[in-house]
Amino acid sequence: MYNTRYHLADLSNYSFLVTGGAGFIGSNLVEYLLKYGARKVRVLDNLSTGHRRNLEPFMSHPAFEFIEGDIRSLQTCEQAMQGIDLVSHQAALGSVPRSIQDPITSNDVNVSGFLNILVAARNSEVKRVVYAASSSTYGDSTELPKVEDRIGKPLSPYAITKYVNELYADVFSRIYGLELIGLRYFNVFGQRQDPNGAYAAVIPKFVNQLIRHESPVINGDGNYSRDFTYIENVVQMNLKAMFTEDSRAVNQVYNVAFGENTSLNELVQYLKEYLAEHDPAIAGVDVIHGPNRVGDIPHSLADITRARTLLGYEPLFSIRDGLKETLKWYTQESATVSV
Ligand code: NAD
Protein backbone atom coordinates (compact mmCIF):
# COMPACT_ATOMS: atom_id res chain seq x y z
CA MET A 1 0.00 0.00 0.00
CA TYR A 2 1.09 3.59 -0.61
CA ASN A 3 3.66 3.10 -3.32
CA THR A 4 2.91 6.52 -4.77
CA ARG A 5 4.52 9.49 -3.07
CA TYR A 6 2.12 12.45 -2.87
CA HIS A 7 4.20 15.05 -1.03
CA LEU A 8 7.10 17.26 -2.06
CA ALA A 9 8.32 18.09 1.48
CA ASP A 10 10.85 16.07 3.48
CA LEU A 11 8.66 14.50 6.17
CA SER A 12 11.64 14.03 8.48
CA ASN A 13 11.36 17.78 9.21
CA TYR A 14 7.82 17.47 10.58
CA SER A 15 5.95 16.18 13.61
CA PHE A 16 2.32 15.21 13.04
CA LEU A 17 -0.66 14.72 15.31
CA VAL A 18 -3.36 12.48 13.83
CA THR A 19 -6.53 12.58 15.93
CA GLY A 20 -8.71 9.55 15.33
CA GLY A 21 -5.61 7.69 14.18
CA ALA A 22 -6.95 4.35 15.44
CA GLY A 23 -9.84 4.66 13.01
CA PHE A 24 -10.12 3.86 9.33
CA ILE A 25 -8.95 7.06 7.62
CA GLY A 26 -6.60 8.12 10.44
CA SER A 27 -4.71 4.82 10.52
CA ASN A 28 -4.14 4.99 6.77
CA LEU A 29 -2.67 8.47 7.15
CA VAL A 30 -0.42 7.20 9.95
CA GLU A 31 0.76 4.35 7.70
CA TYR A 32 1.66 6.77 4.90
CA LEU A 33 3.43 9.27 7.18
CA LEU A 34 5.56 6.61 8.86
CA LYS A 35 6.36 4.93 5.56
CA TYR A 36 7.76 8.18 4.18
CA GLY A 37 9.89 9.02 7.21
CA ALA A 38 7.93 11.51 9.33
CA ARG A 39 9.97 12.71 12.32
CA LYS A 40 7.08 11.99 14.69
CA VAL A 41 3.53 10.69 14.27
CA ARG A 42 1.43 11.01 17.41
CA VAL A 43 -2.09 9.60 17.56
CA LEU A 44 -4.78 10.88 19.90
CA ASP A 45 -7.74 8.52 20.03
CA ASN A 46 -10.17 7.30 22.70
CA LEU A 47 -10.77 3.98 20.89
CA SER A 48 -14.54 4.56 20.88
CA THR A 49 -15.04 3.50 17.25
CA GLY A 50 -11.38 2.89 16.36
CA HIS A 51 -9.31 -0.11 17.35
CA ARG A 52 -5.94 -0.73 18.95
CA ARG A 53 -5.38 -3.43 16.31
CA ASN A 54 -5.28 -0.69 13.65
CA LEU A 55 -2.26 0.78 15.43
CA GLU A 56 -0.48 -2.47 16.21
CA PRO A 57 1.70 -2.42 13.05
CA PHE A 58 3.08 0.98 14.15
CA MET A 59 3.45 0.52 17.91
CA SER A 60 7.13 -0.48 17.78
CA HIS A 61 8.08 2.22 15.24
CA PRO A 62 10.48 4.72 16.88
CA ALA A 63 8.65 7.75 15.39
CA PHE A 64 5.22 6.60 16.61
CA GLU A 65 3.44 7.69 19.81
CA PHE A 66 -0.05 6.87 21.03
CA ILE A 67 -2.08 8.91 23.50
CA GLU A 68 -5.28 7.20 24.53
CA GLY A 69 -7.44 10.22 25.29
CA ASP A 70 -10.53 12.18 24.42
CA ILE A 71 -10.82 15.31 22.30
CA ARG A 72 -13.63 16.43 24.61
CA SER A 73 -10.85 17.40 27.07
CA LEU A 74 -9.12 20.67 26.13
CA GLN A 75 -6.19 19.77 28.38
CA THR A 76 -5.71 16.47 26.52
CA CYS A 77 -5.79 18.28 23.16
CA GLU A 78 -3.23 20.81 24.41
CA GLN A 79 -0.90 18.08 25.67
CA ALA A 80 -1.25 16.19 22.39
CA MET A 81 -0.21 19.28 20.40
CA GLN A 82 3.03 19.92 22.27
CA GLY A 83 5.93 19.85 19.81
CA ILE A 84 3.60 19.26 16.82
CA ASP A 85 3.88 21.06 13.46
CA LEU A 86 0.87 19.74 11.56
CA VAL A 87 -2.46 18.38 12.80
CA SER A 88 -4.65 16.00 10.86
CA HIS A 89 -7.97 16.03 12.70
CA GLN A 90 -9.96 12.89 11.89
CA ALA A 91 -11.51 12.11 15.29
CA ALA A 92 -15.30 12.33 15.28
CA LEU A 93 -18.36 10.16 15.67
CA GLY A 94 -19.33 9.25 12.12
CA SER A 95 -22.67 7.93 10.86
CA VAL A 96 -25.93 9.74 10.21
CA PRO A 97 -28.06 7.06 12.00
CA ARG A 98 -25.82 7.24 15.11
CA SER A 99 -26.40 11.00 15.29
CA ILE A 100 -30.16 10.51 14.90
CA GLN A 101 -30.07 7.95 17.74
CA ASP A 102 -27.87 10.07 20.04
CA PRO A 103 -27.49 13.66 18.83
CA ILE A 104 -26.03 14.89 22.13
CA THR A 105 -22.94 12.66 22.05
CA SER A 106 -22.35 13.33 18.34
CA ASN A 107 -22.51 17.05 19.06
CA ASP A 108 -20.20 16.81 22.09
CA VAL A 109 -17.52 14.96 20.15
CA ASN A 110 -17.91 16.55 16.73
CA VAL A 111 -18.54 20.16 17.76
CA SER A 112 -17.14 20.66 21.28
CA GLY A 113 -14.23 18.31 20.52
CA PHE A 114 -13.53 20.19 17.30
CA LEU A 115 -13.57 23.51 19.15
CA ASN A 116 -11.03 22.10 21.62
CA ILE A 117 -8.78 21.15 18.70
CA LEU A 118 -8.96 24.69 17.32
CA VAL A 119 -8.34 26.34 20.70
CA ALA A 120 -5.44 23.98 21.44
CA ALA A 121 -3.97 24.73 18.00
CA ARG A 122 -4.31 28.46 18.64
CA ASN A 123 -2.48 28.06 21.96
CA SER A 124 0.38 26.07 20.43
CA GLU A 125 3.04 26.28 17.73
CA VAL A 126 1.01 24.19 15.28
CA LYS A 127 1.36 25.50 11.70
CA ARG A 128 -1.83 24.09 10.17
CA VAL A 129 -4.85 21.91 10.94
CA VAL A 130 -6.36 19.82 8.14
CA TYR A 131 -9.72 18.47 9.31
CA ALA A 132 -12.29 15.93 8.16
CA ALA A 133 -15.43 17.67 6.94
CA SER A 134 -18.21 15.80 5.13
CA SER A 135 -20.27 15.64 1.95
CA SER A 136 -23.32 15.52 4.27
CA THR A 137 -22.96 19.31 4.39
CA TYR A 138 -24.66 19.42 0.96
CA GLY A 139 -27.83 18.37 2.79
CA ASP A 140 -31.02 18.65 0.77
CA SER A 141 -29.41 20.35 -2.24
CA THR A 142 -30.31 18.32 -5.34
CA GLU A 143 -27.77 20.02 -7.59
CA LEU A 144 -25.24 17.67 -9.20
CA PRO A 145 -22.32 17.67 -9.21
CA LYS A 146 -21.80 19.23 -5.79
CA VAL A 147 -19.76 22.43 -5.86
CA GLU A 148 -18.21 23.63 -2.59
CA ASP A 149 -19.94 27.02 -2.40
CA ARG A 150 -23.47 25.76 -2.99
CA ILE A 151 -24.93 23.76 -0.10
CA GLY A 152 -28.45 22.94 1.05
CA LYS A 153 -30.02 22.51 4.48
CA PRO A 154 -28.53 19.77 6.70
CA LEU A 155 -30.59 16.57 6.90
CA SER A 156 -29.22 15.11 10.13
CA PRO A 157 -27.56 16.06 13.43
CA TYR A 158 -24.30 14.63 12.02
CA ALA A 159 -24.49 16.96 9.00
CA ILE A 160 -25.05 19.92 11.32
CA THR A 161 -21.95 19.04 13.37
CA LYS A 162 -19.77 18.83 10.26
CA TYR A 163 -21.09 22.10 8.88
CA VAL A 164 -20.50 23.80 12.24
CA ASN A 165 -16.86 22.63 11.99
CA GLU A 166 -16.53 24.58 8.75
CA LEU A 167 -18.13 27.68 10.30
CA TYR A 168 -15.79 27.56 13.31
CA ALA A 169 -12.77 26.99 11.08
CA ASP A 170 -13.65 30.02 8.98
CA VAL A 171 -14.06 32.23 12.04
CA PHE A 172 -10.85 30.96 13.69
CA SER A 173 -8.85 31.61 10.54
CA ARG A 174 -10.15 35.18 10.38
CA ILE A 175 -9.88 36.04 14.09
CA TYR A 176 -6.76 34.16 15.16
CA GLY A 177 -4.98 33.75 11.82
CA LEU A 178 -4.94 29.94 12.05
CA GLU A 179 -4.30 27.95 8.86
CA LEU A 180 -7.22 25.53 8.44
CA ILE A 181 -8.30 23.33 5.57
CA GLY A 182 -11.51 21.27 5.54
CA LEU A 183 -11.87 18.12 3.48
CA ARG A 184 -15.43 17.11 2.59
CA TYR A 185 -15.03 13.38 2.20
CA PHE A 186 -17.48 11.51 -0.05
CA ASN A 187 -18.15 7.87 1.05
CA VAL A 188 -14.59 6.74 1.64
CA PHE A 189 -13.71 3.03 1.55
CA GLY A 190 -10.61 0.86 1.86
CA GLN A 191 -8.47 -1.24 4.15
CA ARG A 192 -9.18 -1.17 7.90
CA GLN A 193 -12.72 0.26 7.53
CA ASP A 194 -14.78 -1.41 10.25
CA PRO A 195 -17.34 -3.88 8.83
CA ASN A 196 -18.96 -4.52 12.21
CA GLY A 197 -21.62 -2.80 14.29
CA ALA A 198 -24.92 -1.07 13.67
CA TYR A 199 -23.26 1.97 12.10
CA ALA A 200 -20.89 0.23 9.66
CA ALA A 201 -20.49 1.87 6.24
CA VAL A 202 -22.09 0.17 3.26
CA ILE A 203 -19.00 -1.26 1.50
CA PRO A 204 -17.38 -3.08 4.45
CA LYS A 205 -20.81 -4.22 5.66
CA PHE A 206 -21.73 -5.71 2.27
CA VAL A 207 -18.29 -7.31 1.86
CA ASN A 208 -18.59 -8.92 5.27
CA GLN A 209 -22.06 -10.22 4.48
CA LEU A 210 -21.15 -11.57 1.03
CA ILE A 211 -18.07 -13.35 2.43
CA ARG A 212 -20.45 -15.14 4.84
CA HIS A 213 -22.96 -15.83 2.01
CA GLU A 214 -25.51 -13.56 3.74
CA SER A 215 -27.76 -11.33 1.62
CA PRO A 216 -26.88 -7.63 1.76
CA VAL A 217 -29.87 -5.34 2.35
CA ILE A 218 -30.05 -2.35 0.01
CA ASN A 219 -32.15 0.52 1.35
CA GLY A 220 -34.58 1.29 -1.49
CA ASP A 221 -34.48 0.11 -5.11
CA GLY A 222 -30.71 0.39 -5.41
CA ASN A 223 -30.71 3.27 -7.86
CA TYR A 224 -29.44 5.74 -5.26
CA SER A 225 -25.83 6.58 -6.09
CA ARG A 226 -22.71 7.76 -4.32
CA ASP A 227 -19.27 9.07 -5.28
CA PHE A 228 -17.41 6.20 -3.59
CA THR A 229 -13.83 7.29 -2.90
CA TYR A 230 -10.90 4.98 -2.34
CA ILE A 231 -8.74 5.71 0.72
CA GLU A 232 -5.55 6.25 -1.30
CA ASN A 233 -7.19 9.26 -3.02
CA VAL A 234 -8.09 10.61 0.42
CA VAL A 235 -4.55 10.20 1.72
CA GLN A 236 -3.23 12.03 -1.34
CA MET A 237 -5.62 14.91 -0.67
CA ASN A 238 -4.60 15.14 3.00
CA LEU A 239 -0.93 15.35 2.03
CA LYS A 240 -1.60 18.02 -0.60
CA ALA A 241 -3.60 20.03 1.96
CA MET A 242 -0.97 19.71 4.68
CA PHE A 243 1.86 20.91 2.46
CA THR A 244 0.42 23.42 0.03
CA GLU A 245 2.32 26.69 0.07
CA ASP A 246 -0.25 28.49 -2.07
CA SER A 247 -1.98 31.00 0.22
CA ARG A 248 -5.14 30.85 -1.95
CA ALA A 249 -5.43 27.16 -1.16
CA VAL A 250 -5.44 27.64 2.63
CA ASN A 251 -8.58 28.37 4.67
CA GLN A 252 -10.77 26.62 2.14
CA VAL A 253 -12.97 23.55 2.09
CA TYR A 254 -12.58 20.94 -0.64
CA ASN A 255 -14.58 18.06 -2.03
CA VAL A 256 -12.56 14.86 -1.71
CA ALA A 257 -13.91 12.28 -4.13
CA PHE A 258 -13.17 10.49 -7.35
CA GLY A 259 -15.75 12.48 -9.31
CA GLU A 260 -17.98 9.65 -10.58
CA ASN A 261 -21.13 8.17 -9.09
CA THR A 262 -22.02 4.51 -8.79
CA SER A 263 -25.44 3.15 -7.88
CA LEU A 264 -25.89 0.72 -5.00
CA ASN A 265 -26.98 -1.93 -7.50
CA GLU A 266 -23.76 -1.45 -9.51
CA LEU A 267 -21.72 -1.54 -6.32
CA VAL A 268 -23.15 -4.91 -5.29
CA GLN A 269 -22.57 -6.23 -8.82
CA TYR A 270 -18.86 -5.24 -8.64
CA LEU A 271 -18.48 -6.75 -5.18
CA LYS A 272 -20.05 -10.03 -6.21
CA GLU A 273 -17.97 -10.18 -9.39
CA TYR A 274 -14.65 -9.57 -7.60
CA LEU A 275 -15.42 -11.70 -4.53
CA ALA A 276 -16.59 -14.60 -6.71
CA GLU A 277 -12.98 -14.87 -7.96
CA HIS A 278 -12.12 -16.10 -4.43
CA ASP A 279 -15.36 -17.98 -3.75
CA PRO A 280 -17.60 -18.73 -6.78
CA ALA A 281 -20.64 -19.34 -4.52
CA ILE A 282 -20.77 -15.58 -3.79
CA ALA A 283 -22.04 -14.95 -7.34
CA GLY A 284 -25.28 -16.68 -6.31
CA VAL A 285 -25.97 -14.68 -3.13
CA ASP A 286 -29.21 -12.70 -3.50
CA VAL A 287 -29.73 -9.07 -2.52
CA ILE A 288 -32.66 -7.92 -0.37
CA HIS A 289 -34.27 -4.52 -0.87
CA GLY A 290 -35.56 -2.70 2.22
CA PRO A 291 -37.18 0.72 2.74
CA ASN A 292 -35.27 3.93 2.07
CA ARG A 293 -33.41 5.29 5.12
CA VAL A 294 -34.33 8.56 6.86
CA GLY A 295 -31.87 11.33 6.03
CA ASP A 296 -30.51 9.67 2.86
CA ILE A 297 -30.25 11.76 -0.29
CA PRO A 298 -30.83 10.03 -3.65
CA HIS A 299 -27.56 10.95 -5.35
CA SER A 300 -24.17 12.30 -4.47
CA LEU A 301 -21.48 13.30 -6.93
CA ALA A 302 -18.61 15.71 -6.37
CA ASP A 303 -17.15 18.38 -8.58
CA ILE A 304 -13.42 18.11 -7.78
CA THR A 305 -12.32 21.11 -9.84
CA ARG A 306 -11.32 23.18 -6.79
CA ALA A 307 -9.06 20.42 -5.42
CA ARG A 308 -7.51 19.88 -8.85
CA THR A 309 -6.94 23.57 -9.49
CA LEU A 310 -5.74 24.78 -6.10
CA LEU A 311 -4.04 21.66 -4.74
CA GLY A 312 -3.10 19.69 -7.84
CA TYR A 313 -5.21 16.74 -6.62
CA GLU A 314 -5.40 13.94 -9.17
CA PRO A 315 -7.25 10.88 -7.87
CA LEU A 316 -5.50 7.77 -9.14
CA PHE A 317 -7.99 5.09 -8.08
CA SER A 318 -11.46 4.66 -9.58
CA ILE A 319 -14.08 2.78 -7.58
CA ARG A 320 -13.28 -0.44 -9.46
CA ASP A 321 -9.50 -0.12 -8.87
CA GLY A 322 -10.11 0.75 -5.23
CA LEU A 323 -12.51 -2.14 -4.68
CA LYS A 324 -9.99 -4.62 -6.05
CA GLU A 325 -7.36 -3.35 -3.57
CA THR A 326 -9.85 -3.26 -0.70
CA LEU A 327 -11.11 -6.79 -1.31
CA LYS A 328 -7.56 -8.16 -1.24
CA TRP A 329 -7.36 -6.83 2.31
CA TYR A 330 -10.79 -8.06 3.47
CA THR A 331 -10.31 -11.51 2.02
CA GLN A 332 -6.91 -11.83 3.72
CA GLU A 333 -8.42 -10.58 6.99
CA SER A 334 -11.35 -12.98 6.81
CA ALA A 335 -8.91 -15.84 6.35
CA THR A 336 -7.07 -14.93 9.56
CA VAL A 337 -9.56 -13.19 11.87
CA SER A 338 -13.34 -13.04 12.10
CA VAL A 339 -14.37 -9.84 10.33
P1 NAD B 1 -13.61 5.95 12.28
O2 NAD B 1 -14.76 5.79 13.21
O3 NAD B 1 -12.98 4.73 11.74
O4 NAD B 1 -12.50 6.87 12.93
C5 NAD B 1 -12.78 7.89 13.85
C6 NAD B 1 -11.79 7.77 14.99
O7 NAD B 1 -12.03 8.83 15.93
C8 NAD B 1 -11.92 6.45 15.76
O9 NAD B 1 -10.66 5.83 15.90
C10 NAD B 1 -12.49 6.87 17.12
O11 NAD B 1 -12.09 6.01 18.17
C12 NAD B 1 -11.94 8.28 17.24
N13 NAD B 1 -12.72 9.11 18.16
C14 NAD B 1 -14.08 9.21 18.19
N15 NAD B 1 -14.45 10.02 19.20
C16 NAD B 1 -13.31 10.44 19.79
C17 NAD B 1 -13.03 11.27 20.91
N18 NAD B 1 -14.03 11.84 21.62
N19 NAD B 1 -11.74 11.49 21.25
C20 NAD B 1 -10.73 10.90 20.56
N21 NAD B 1 -10.93 10.08 19.52
C22 NAD B 1 -12.21 9.86 19.14
O23 NAD B 1 -14.17 6.88 11.08
P24 NAD B 1 -13.48 7.28 9.70
O25 NAD B 1 -14.33 6.74 8.62
O26 NAD B 1 -12.04 7.00 9.73
O27 NAD B 1 -13.72 8.86 9.72
C28 NAD B 1 -12.70 9.81 10.00
C29 NAD B 1 -13.27 11.19 9.86
O30 NAD B 1 -13.76 11.39 8.54
C31 NAD B 1 -14.43 11.51 10.78
O32 NAD B 1 -14.31 12.85 11.19
C33 NAD B 1 -15.64 11.34 9.91
O34 NAD B 1 -16.73 12.11 10.34
C35 NAD B 1 -15.09 11.85 8.59
N36 NAD B 1 -15.80 11.35 7.39
C37 NAD B 1 -15.67 10.04 7.03
C38 NAD B 1 -16.32 9.61 5.89
C39 NAD B 1 -16.20 8.18 5.43
O40 NAD B 1 -16.76 7.87 4.38
N41 NAD B 1 -15.51 7.30 6.13
C42 NAD B 1 -17.12 10.49 5.14
C43 NAD B 1 -17.22 11.81 5.55
C44 NAD B 1 -16.53 12.24 6.66
pLDDT of residue 334: 65
What are the per-10-residue average pLDDT scores of the chain (339 residues)?
92 98 98 98 98 98 98 98 98 95 98 98 98 97 97 96 98 98 98 95 97 96 97 98 98 98 98 96 96 86 98 98 97 60
Catalytic residue among 14, 32, 138, 158: 158
Residue 2, SS3? coil
195 lines ligand 1 (CB under 6 A): no
Residues 6+ apart with CB under 8 A from 91: 19, 20, 23, 26, 44, 45, 46, 71, 109, 113
Residue 262, SS3? strand
pLDDT of residue 335: 57
pLDDT of residue 13: 98
* DSSP bridge pairs for 181: 130, 252
pLDDT of residue 4: 94
> Which ligand 1 atom lies nearest to the CA of residue 26?
26
Nearest alpha carbon, ligand 1 atom 33: 94
Nearest alpha carbon, ligand 1 atom 28: 90
pLDDT of residue 33: 98
> Which ligand 1 atom lies nearest to the CA of residue 70?
19
pTM above 0.75, yes or no: yes
At residue 54, what is the residue type? N
